[in-house]
A and B are shown apart, each in its own frame.
Chain A
Amino acid sequence: MDKNQSIIKMRGINFSHFENSPILKDLDFEFLKGDKIGFIAPNGSGKTTLFHLMMGLIKPVSGTIEIFGKPMETEQDFSQIRHRIGLLFQDADDQLFCPTVLEDVSFGPLNMGKSKKEAIDISKRTLGFLGLSDFENRITFKLSGGEKKLVSLATVLSMEPEALLLDEPLTGLDTKTRTTITRALTEMNISYIIISHNIEFLKNTTSKTLTMRDGQIYTDKQVHVHIHDHAHVHGNIPHKH
């Protein structure tokens, strides 16, 4: 596969929940193979909506979506490509629904037609990769917030998707879990888009940053995301920058 192969291509997308307040206006966007994109934008600017449009969970008012070069129109079209793109939901409780961790992680592979043995093997491997080897028989709703998030990520990765859409993957997590997720993302050779407000995380994991304003996407070439260090000569005296 060539590097510039298109994964998702959106043209002239319009979307609104209520008639007079459009969320997305005439939006164009292309997600290419090899892209590692960070998405920073204010709450309510339509980032999650955009992800859900990409997965066909909601339908745009107008505009076209192409995924892996195929136009997506019906639920049928989307159901054929969904397993090739992994969407990590904001709330892990939405994603985990099986009683045990192993069952939840193998749910995707089983749906894809893998045998029981293959599904279990791949799930164990995925759990191992995320440092969750002894989690197989744990009960999903009894996990801590961070563990739930990692298991959610495992349920997505076990489908061996070609691209990931991560909706605020770090929100509410401790440093250890954050490190695990950052390591997993940098070790995998996979294209992804991450919605996050955490600049340091995006700096470590992405190569391009986008933002959203007035229902459209902007590539802020001038605004490069970086962390700014400087000496603090005023110590603890309150002051402004």
Chain B
Amino acid sequence: MIEEPFASGNSIIHGIDPRFRVAAATFYSFAVALCYQFQPLIAALAVALVSVLLSEVGLKTVFKRLVVVNGFILLFWIVLPLTYKGKIVYSLGPVNVYLAGIVFAAKITIKSNAILLVLISFIATMTFATLGHTLSRFKLPEKLVFLLMITYRYIFVIQQEYQKIIRSIKIRGFKPKTTLHTYKTFAYVIGMLLIRASERANRVYNAMRCRGFKGKYYSLTYFTADTKSWVFVTIVFGVTSGILLMEFLING
């Protein structure tokens, strides 16, 4: 199950108009992605930490999310120090560890964690449905938004169908081995899942037609651009611009 652990809350961030949050998070992410110096990156990470604290989300859950992403970043720490040529800090026989690689991996780590934390506090604090509607307000093509929402809705149904099939093969004593029988069974499972998904899609479309669907999707959400949303977006844009300025000044 995809859950939305951060979506419900009463923090300052939760109260900001979703459109402003999406705009702020987008600007911040691009700005931070452009930075290469340690000073602006550390400033960005500090901003991200403050925003997570402001959004009052469960820090334990946030930490779990970070662990997943940093698992991928760990790969950079293995590959980059050994391959990014430059000053050697340590040698073990034919294997050299380069300083530039370590610096680069460190920057990537700070950058990704900062962006992730801001996305958690600005974007993950709204439901998927709200995000979809917000994106449609930003004139993202109607079809893309619709595809996103439908995918989100039916991913659970397909997952349930998958579990149903898996249960039904398990109760008949199926144990995966490296045999032709195993491969054949898995092929059947995938095939059956595809057929069921397409039949389901057909039935859903029919049900939508019965309710007068003619290709247009309406959104019920009302957005209110109040003072606090404007203050919020001004602060985020200001601070982010400051980070960018720092980057350009150091770069000369």
Per the bound structure, the CA–CA distance linking A13 and B187 in Å amounts to 40
CB-nearest residue of chain A to B132 = A99
User: Contact between A94 and B200 (Cβ–Cβ < 8 Å)?
Assistant: yes
Q: B208's contact among A97, A112, A159, by CB below 8 Å, is which?
A: A97
A93 contacts partner chain B, Cβ-Cβ < 8 Å: yes
Contacts of B212 in A (CB 8 A): 79, 82-83, 108, 111-112, 159
What residue in chain A is nearest B130 (Cβ atoms)?
A99
Neighbour of A110 across the interface among B150, B154, B206, B218, CB < 8 A? B218
A99 in contact with B203 (CB, 8 Å)? no
Instruction: Select from chain B the residue with minimum beta-carbon distance to A155.
Output: B211
Interface SS, A side: helix
Question: Which chain A residues lie closer than 8 Å to B96 at the CB level?
Answer: none
Cβ of B129 and Cβ of A93 under 8 Å apart?
A: no
A181 at the interface (CB under 8 A from B): no
| Chain A: interface residue total (CB-CB under 8 A) | 34
Mark out the residues of chain B between 130 and 185 whose CB falls within 8 Å of any chain A CB in the assembled complex. 132, 149-150, 152-154, 156-157
Residues of A within 8 A of B154 (CB): 97
1/0 contact trace for B9-52 toward A, CB 8 Å? 00000000000000000000000000000000000000000000
Contact A102 B157 (CB under 8 A): no
**Is A52 touching B211 in the complex (CB atoms < 8 A)?**
no
A-B contact count (CB 8 A): 79
Of the candidates A83, A94, A99, A155, which one forms a contact with B152 in the assembled complex, judged by CB atoms under 8 Å apart?
A99
- Taking a contact as CB atoms under 8 Å apart, the answer to whether B203 and A91 are in contact is yes
Nearest A-chain residue to B201, judged by Cβ:
A94
Answer yes or no: B214 CB below 8 A from chain A CBs: yes
When chains A and B are docked, how far (Å) is the Cα of A103 from the Cα of B146? 13
Shortest A114–chain B CB gap in Å is 10
Q: Could you pull out 11 A-B pairs where Cβ atoms are within 8 angstroms? A: A83-B211, A93-B200, A94-B207, A95-B207, A97-B150, A97-B153, A98-B149, A107-B208, A107-B218, A111-B218, A120-B220
Query: B interface vs A, CB < 8 Å?
Result: 127-129, 132, 149-150, 152-154, 156-157, 200, 203-204, 206-214, 216, 218, 220
